[in-house]
């Protein structure tokens, strides 16, 4: 019944590894987002897809690559993880330009 | 200057008291405004939208001041369960790209 679900909830990995985070929404929304929340609690947009099309691509290292196989799914793949990538990553969905529904977050720790 | 700024707090509020805080935004073309609540180690959840004429939802009142470019949130009769971080969100485009403030922490004490 979860509206926006992300997996995994926690991810601890070593520098240099490649990892993926998955997100799925069952709300029928047309737009999905990835946000990063750093240690200062600042939520910053990374990417947005509308009906599988990339519409927002903020200044994010190209080690981060989003993929949207369909409008209900938006995954995030991160190559060559760095210490500075440690953060909480939130997936969200909306029916533009309405407010977001967030997933519960993925706490990524790079060691 | 950040696009959306909030006083980080914490605002320490006795139970039953009223607390109010603002969020300023820099882009005069901003169209939609929201308040979110985020509990510790949880995701942000929509508290309320902010309408031009101001709006109320129970003990919560939101106001928009376009001339001075800020929104406000007032919490009346504070409950212990109101302790959280309150994030404002502002959007300027129809793509739904939200700019969030860093949040205002509210701590309600018995």
pLDDT at B104: 97
Nearest chain B residue to A49 by CA: give it.
B95
Q: What is the pLDDT of residues A32-78, one digit of tens each?
A: 999 999 988 889 999 999 888 898 888 789 999 999 999 999 999 99
Report, as an integer, the average pLDDT of B23-49. Answer: 94
pLDDT at A6: 96
Chain A nearest-CA distance from B23, in A, is 14
Nearest Cβ partner for A96 among B85, B89, B95: B95
Please, which pLDDT band fits residue A96 given cuts at 50, 70 and 90? low
Least confident of A102-106, B22-26, B27-31, B82-86: B27-31
Nearest Cβ partner for A41 among B32, B43, B102: B102
CB A11 within 8 A of CB A109: yes
DSSP chain B: --SEEE----EEEETT--EEEEEEES-TT--EEEEEEE-TTS-EEEEEEE-TT-EEETTEEEEEETTTTEEEEEE-S--GGG-EEEEEEEE-STT--EEE---EEEEEE-
Closest CA to B74 of B20, B13, B22, B35: B20
Cβ–Cβ gap B94/A40 under 8 Å: no
pLDDT at B12: 97
pLDDT for residue A18 is more than 90: yes
Chain B residues within 8 A of A41 when measuring between CB atoms: 38, 85, 102-103
Nearest Cβ partner for B43 among A44, A56, A102: A102
Cβ–Cβ gap A94/B96 under 8 Å: yes
Chain B nearest-CA distance from A96, in A, is 5
pLDDT at A42: 87
Higher pLDDT, B94 or A21: A21
Cβ–Cβ gap A97/B94 under 8 Å: yes
pLDDT for residue B95 is more than 70: no
Q: Is B97 on the interface with A (CB under 8 A)?
A: yes
Chain B residues within 8 A of A54 when measuring between CB atoms: none
Residue in the block written with tokens 């485009």: B93
Q: Is B88 on the interface with A (CB under 8 A)?
A: no
Report, as an integer, the average pLDDT of B4-11. Answer: 94
pLDDT for residue B93 is more than 90: no
């Amino acid at each position: 019944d979860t509206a926006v679900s992300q997996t995994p909830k926690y991810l601890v990995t070593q520098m240099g590894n490649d990892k993926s985070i998955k997100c799925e929404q069952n709300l029928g929304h047309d737009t999905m987002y990835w946000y990063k929340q750093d240690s200062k609690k600042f939520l910053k947009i990374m990417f947005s897809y509308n009906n599988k099309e990339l519409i927002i691509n903020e200044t994010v290292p190209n080690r981060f690559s989003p993929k949207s196989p369909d409008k209900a799914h938006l995954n995030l793949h991160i190559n060559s993880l760095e210490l500075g990538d440690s953060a909480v990553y939130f997936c969200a969905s909306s029916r533009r330009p309405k407010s977001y529904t967030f997933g519960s977050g993925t706490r990524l720790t790079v060691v | 200057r950040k696009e959306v700024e909030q006083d980080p707090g914490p605002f320490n509020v006795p139970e039953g008291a009223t607390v109010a805080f603002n969020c300023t935004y820099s882009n005069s073309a901003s169209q939609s405004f929201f308040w979110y609540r985020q509990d510790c180690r949880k995701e942000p959840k929509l508290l309320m939208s902010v309408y031009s004429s101001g709006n109320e939802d129970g003990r919560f009142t939101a106001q928009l001041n376009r001339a001075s470019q800020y929104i406000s949130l007032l919490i009346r009769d504070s409950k212990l369960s109101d302790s959280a971080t309150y994030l404002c969100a502002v959007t300027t485009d129809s793509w739904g790209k939200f700019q969030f403030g860093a949040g205002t922490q509210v701590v309600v004490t018995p």
